[in-house]
Amino acid sequence: MPNDTSQNPRTLYQKVWDDHVIHTDDNGTSLIYIDRHLVHEVTSPQAFEGLRLANRPVHSPKATLAVCDHNVPTTDRANGITEPESRLQVETLYKNCEEFGIDLFDMNDKRQGIVHIIGPEQGFSQPGMTIVCGDSHTSTHGAFGALAFGIGTSEVEHVLATQTLIQKQSKSMRVTVNGDLSEGVTAKDIILSIIGQIGTAGGTGHVIEYAGDTIRALSMEGRMTMCNMSIEAGARAGMIAPDDTTIQYIKGRPMAPKGTEWDKAIAYWKTLQTDDGATYDTEVILDAKDIAPTVSWGTTPEDILPITGNVPAPSDFDDPKKQQSVARMLDYMDLKAGTKLTDIKLDKIFIGSCTNGRIEDLRSVAAVVKGKKIAENIKLAMVVPGSGLVKQMAEDEGIADILIAAGFEWREPGCSMCLAMNADKLLAGERCASTSNRNFEGRQGRGGRTHLMSPAMAAAAAITGHLTDIREFNA
Amino acid sequence: MDKFTTLSGIAAPLRMINVDTDVILPKQYLKVITRHGLGQYAFEEIRYHEDGTPKEDFILNKPPYDKAEILITGENFGSGSSREHAPWAILDLGIKCIIAPSFADIFYNNSFKNGMLLIELPLDQIDALMNEAEENPEAPLNIDLENQTITRGNQINFDFDIDAHKKHCLLNGLDDIGLTLEKKAHITDYETNDKTKRSWLYKS
């Protein structure tokens, strides 16, 4: 069964799938084993309650790691959480973890942070694993060559009770990007461009494998940014085959294999490459040189353009339903067709999220804003590190001082204004340059308007006060 | 879980594409620790004005659609987050069946776990259903899961596809966890083998 070379050539996804199938029914539905499960406070309370009602234990408590991230305040935590519902949800997580024997990073733990930042950071996420979490951005962990996807609360309960899930195999898609990236173009611009090309439902029913020399040249942080937004392309999972970059990243992390187990793990991880001759249901190919610094203008992540573009008109689209949707988006976003994107003025800047809240992201922001000040029209520019350890690292490297001197607020780690469940949110009508992943109506606060972009682009926008081409900013 | 066999009810046409989970249930309502009572907040930002008064042009505010048990809508319904609160909220509104050209994967799966039936149909059939629902709002649409049909008088008679496992679970009101625990011996066998093959996963 495992990586049997006598079989037909297999994709990375097929190999990881095959190694986790416990049983397949006649109708093609499989029971698959789940190696690791991440839990947070928002999507788990009803799952634990379900276990209690049915008097079921957690099958493998040590395969699960819990953290609070969605609801936690990003300001001073000395007094706990003031908002009663948020506090109840976080306290419920603490109680559930204690009752069921699950390891937890609580709000004041240095290792606390966004669930998809801390998994990789701790070495919890490894190649070839199946990793799930009650959060759609679980696709992030696919950057390690894991099969990682978001699940709902009923499935959270299923995994807690059985360490398995009932699944049908997905279709496979390969997105290949080759060539050198132009100056100012990052992993965020690549993934936004891919979503713009295939659409927010383009990956529905698929697991995407990202391949090509452009992807190989990305750091683990960049790969995580790409896999993270696979869900915005409709795919539940994105994967990148492990290589030396992956192995070097994992080595020595607290939950990484040690000693002889490390050698054994590496030998296995190295088999996790798509075989020559393996085929995909769908192939998409991009040339890196065609990708420009990219921003979103509408209210779905497929509504993106190169920063050099102009706001489109409904008549620029062929499909009548899309025309109707574009008209609604322009109204919601308060944009006029034909406006130059670089003329769009901003109110707030948000740097953070599981998409772009890692140390490399903060370094790139610091490089842009060093010695400069945020524009007068920017009411708030906030940096929310992805974890306590990222925050510590940024402070040790002097990044925090640079950002604070430029006028940014330096916050405590969490999901924050990516989804605005805590106190961090846009007011109606406010416009934000955001390094997060979703620009849906109301996502960052009712009536708020979101433009998605890379950390460097958001940093440049903070300084100029409007959407800005990072290449011109640097020139 | 309640069984789903047949359903005969009012169908509401929601003429929107890409209805995402933030539209279905805004995040401020994810702070609950139970599954119930979310219907009042469903579609809040397109259903109510900021002062809380209903928006008259929103389909589920208009009689008789305010009593709809079936929702007919556009492509990529349920895109976005994994929040099962989204199907919980729709179910709590009394809607047990959603018909669309396509759904986002996680939303689709979550809905079935709560006894809801989601049906994918080609665009032309969706258009026909929407037009019918607008022209004859009071006439019930009939869904028969066993026979996989959607009918209304002489106007509508469509077949639909459904995954055999999902159909079986809905028809019998089966709980997935119970089904899986019946395969406990298979799980134990898998773990025994895997502890040799991928021993590092079991050491920390």
User: CB distance A162–B83 less than 8 Å?
Assistant: no
User: CB distance A92–B165 less than 8 Å?
Assistant: no
**B168, B185: one domain:** no
> What distances in angstroms separate CA A337 from CA A70, A298, A344, A428, B81, one per listed residue?
35, 11, 12, 21, 29
- pLDDT band, residue B204 (cuts 50/70/90): low
**Residue A4: its pLDDT value, please?**
52
At B66-108, the pLDDT tens digits run 999 999 999 999 999 999 999 999 999 999 999 999 999 999 9
**B114, B187: one domain:** no
Which residue type sits at A297?
A: W
**Candidates A122, A136, A137, A195, partner chain B, best to mutate (most B CBs within 10 A):** A136
- Please report the residues numbered 122 through 161 in chain B whose beta carbons come closer than 8 angstroms to any beta carbon of chain A: none
For residue A300 the two structure tokens come to: 């779905």
Asked if residue A1 has pLDDT above 90, the reply is no
Please state, in angstroms and rounded to a whole number, the distance separating the CA atoms of residues A400 and A392. Answer: 9
Specify the number of domains making up chain B: 2
Closest CA–CA distance from residue B1 to any residue of chain A (Å): 12
At A426-455, the pLDDT tens digits run 999 999 999 999 999 999 999 999 999 999
- pLDDT band, residue A115 (cuts 50/70/90): very high
Of the candidates B14, B43, B24, B1, the one whose C-alpha atom is nearest the C-alpha of residue B86 is B24
**Candidates A42, A208, A439, partner chain B, best to mutate (most B CBs within 10 A):** A42
**B167, B89: one domain:** yes
**B191, B168: one domain:** no
User: Could you tell me what percent of chain A has a pLDDT over 70?
Assistant: 99
**B164, B192: one domain:** no
Q: What is the CA radius of gyration of chain A?
A: 22
Distance of CA B14 to the CA centre of its chain: 14
Question: Across chain A, which distance is largest between two alpha carbons, in Å?
Answer: 65
Please state, in angstroms and rounded to a whole number, the distance separating the CA atoms of residues B159 and B143. Answer: 10
CATH of the domain at B137: 3.20.19.10
Q: Is B192 on the interface with A (CB under 8 A)?
A: no
Asked if residue A5 has pLDDT above 60, the reply is no
**B162, B181: one domain:** no
Of A43, A157, A265, the CB nearest to B200: A265
Please state, in angstroms and rounded to a whole number, the distance separating the CA atoms of residues B80 and A129. Answer: 24
Q: Where are the beta strands (DSSP E) in A101-249?
A: 103-105, 130-133, 147-150, 164-167, 171-178, 206-211, 237-239
pTM, two decimal places = 0.96
Please state, in angstroms and rounded to a whole number, the distance separating the CA atoms of residues A289 and A185. Answer: 9
- Please report the residues numbered 59 through 98 in chain B whose beta carbons come closer than 8 angstroms to any beta carbon of chain A: 74-76, 79-84, 87
**Residue A98: its pLDDT value, please?**
98
For residue A149 the two structure tokens come to: 């996807």
B74 to chain A: nearest residue by CA? A321
Please state, in angstroms and rounded to a whole number, the distance separating the CA atoms of residues A156 and A149. Answer: 12
User: CB distance B109–A152 less than 8 Å?
Assistant: yes
At A308-321, the pLDDT tens digits run 999 999 999 999 99
**B132, B120: one domain:** yes
Asked if residue A456 has pLDDT above 50, the reply is yes
Closest CA–CA distance from residue A293 to any residue of chain B (Å): 24
**B153, B203: one domain:** no
Q: What is the CA radius of gyration of chain B?
A: 19
Please state, in angstroms and rounded to a whole number, the distance separating the CA atoms of residues A48 and A39. Answer: 11
**Residue B154: its pLDDT value, please?**
87
Of the candidates B126, B39, B29, the one whose C-alpha atom is nearest the C-alpha of residue B76 is B126
Helix A115-122 vs helix A388-396: angle between axes, to the nearest 10 degrees?
A: 70
Whether B19 is in a domain gets the answer yes
At A33-65, the pLDDT tens digits run 999 999 999 999 999 999 999 999 999 999 999
Q: Which domain holds residue B201?
A: 175-204
User: CB distance B18–A300 less than 8 Å?
Assistant: yes
Asked if residue A3 has pLDDT above 50, the reply is no
**B142, B181: one domain:** no
- pLDDT band, residue B155 (cuts 50/70/90): confident
Helix residue ranges per DSSP H, A334-418: 353-356, 359-369, 388-396, 399-406
